[in-house]
Amino acid sequence: MTTNIAAVPADSGAHALFGPVQIRDLQLRNRLVVSPMATYSAVDGHATDWHVQHIGKLAAGGAGLVFVEQSSVNLQGRITHGCLGIWDDAHVPGLARLTQVIRDLGAASAIQIAHSGRKGSSQRPWEGGAALGDADLAARGEGPWEICAPSPIAFDEGWPTPTGMSRGAIDQVVEDYRAAFIRARDAGFDVCELHCAHGYLMHSFLSPLGNQRSDEYGGSRQNRMRVPLRTAAIMREVWPDDLPCFVRISSVDGLGVGWQLEDSIAFARELKAIGIDVVDCSSGGFKLPAENNLVARTPGFQLPFSEAIRKETGIATMGVGLIRTGEFALSALEQGQCDLVAIGRELLWNPNWVSQVAVEMIGAQGWASWPDQYGWWLKRRWFQQGS
């Protein structure tokens, strides 16, 4: 099946941002997406009431597609003890509750499937974000576990050295992903995304900074792409043909080091060939010397990556990175920098951002983005105040 996602014409007007868009047979009510944002609040991998209110709040805010945070393919693949899991059939009912909440609020649902690799066994960010140790076990009963990676290279000073994966371990993880994709399908998600970014396992296979293997999974770029492409192909194989598959990538590791934009373009071509519909373009994830760090983060700083990948390969892309205004999001679409716009922390600050921007940009018609329970009251205040 060919992906059907129409480009936004230049100077198309705000309705292009808020009008429906189709990807395969899935229609989204607009081109704004809630990014997957880890909240590290699961219990033994299970979604809790926290996740229901968090996801419900974001879905009620008007976005077309709502991502549930990255979910781990196995116990070892968690980042923290609080990560959502999808390694057990028992996780499916909790995730199905989230898809139902999203659907009831008029949005489509998505999930990001991940393995932490050498960045696993860590504290939650607000607990320090460092590798787990004896102090964490004493304080919270959350001790460290053994981690794995393509090569035995520690994430940073003070972090444990991961076990270099054998061929058998690689095969097992790939099968863990297969089972996770099937569980995601059973939970009712509309979109599945494979996480190949931010220094986690799949990104570590791609980048020469994390992959120093000498077998068929290391060395050349084609070899380093082998495991992520194999896993992405399984996702496409088990996911319903009428529904989309995304892959999130780190478009570059940094300035002049490791995985670079030309590598991402080559990877995106391969992803397109196996039927992936959208490449979600982020960046970074490895600890780098200061001179190799990306430029200071400014609004839309990653859009040049999504634009280049889109133009060079013809695959649809999702842009992300400090996009804070509707005008900026619309401009990115009209300039051909991306096909979808993902919003993250701005929605934590204001969960109704999408609906608010709809009213600001298209006037009275924008109230259709609001749930009646809110919009009925707020619309009247808006008219009373002369908009």
d(CA 205, CA 170): 11
Is the separation of the CB atoms in 235 and 280 below 8 Å?
no
Q: How many residues appear in the chain?
A: 387
Cα gap 90→72, rounded to integer Å: 14
* Separation between Cα atoms, residue 108 and residue 237, nearest integer Å: 21
The reported pLDDT for the residue numbered 294 is 83
pLDDT per residue of the chain (387 residues) written in tens, 0 to 9: 556 688 888 878 888 999 999 999 999 999 999 999 999 999 999 999 999 999 999 999 999 999 999 999 999 999 999 999 999 999 999 999 999 999 999 999 999 999 999 999 999 999 999 999 999 999 999 999 999 999 999 999 999 999 999 999 999 999 999 999 999 999 999 999 999 999 999 999 999 999 999 999 999 999 999 999 999 999 999 999 999 999 999 999 999 999 999 999 999 999 999 999 999 999 999 999 888 888 767 889 999 999 999 999 999 999 999 999 999 999 999 999 999 999 999 999 999 999 999 999 999 999 999 999 999 999 988 888 766
Among residues 121, 113, 112, 119, which one has the least CA distance to residue 142?
121
Domain assignments of the chain as residue spans, ordered by start: 15-351
51/64 Cα distance (integer angstroms)? 19
Angstrom distances, CA of residue 158 to CA of 161, 187, 189, 195, 319:
9, 38, 38, 25, 34
Please give the positions annotated as active site.
200
DSSP-assigned letters across all residues of 309-334: HHHHH--EEEEESS---HHHHHHHHH
Q: Which amino acid is at 220?
A: S
Tokens 């996911």 belong to 239
Instruction: Provide the b/e sequence for 195-220 (b: ≥16 CB within 10 Å).
Output: bbbbbbbbbbbbbbbbbebeeebbee
**Strand pairing partners for 149?**
164
Tokens of 17: 């941002």
Q: Which two tokens stand for residue 378?
A: 């707020």
For 15-351, CATH number? 3.20.20.70
pLDDT computed for residue 385 by the predictor: 78
Cβ atoms within 10 Å of 169's Cβ, excluding its own: 13
Q: Pinpoint the alpha helices (H) of the chain.
A: 15-18, 49-60, 92-104, 134-140, 167-186, 201-206, 221-224, 226-238, 261-273, 303-313, 326-334, 345-349, 353-362, 372-384
CB 353 within 8 A of CB 345: no
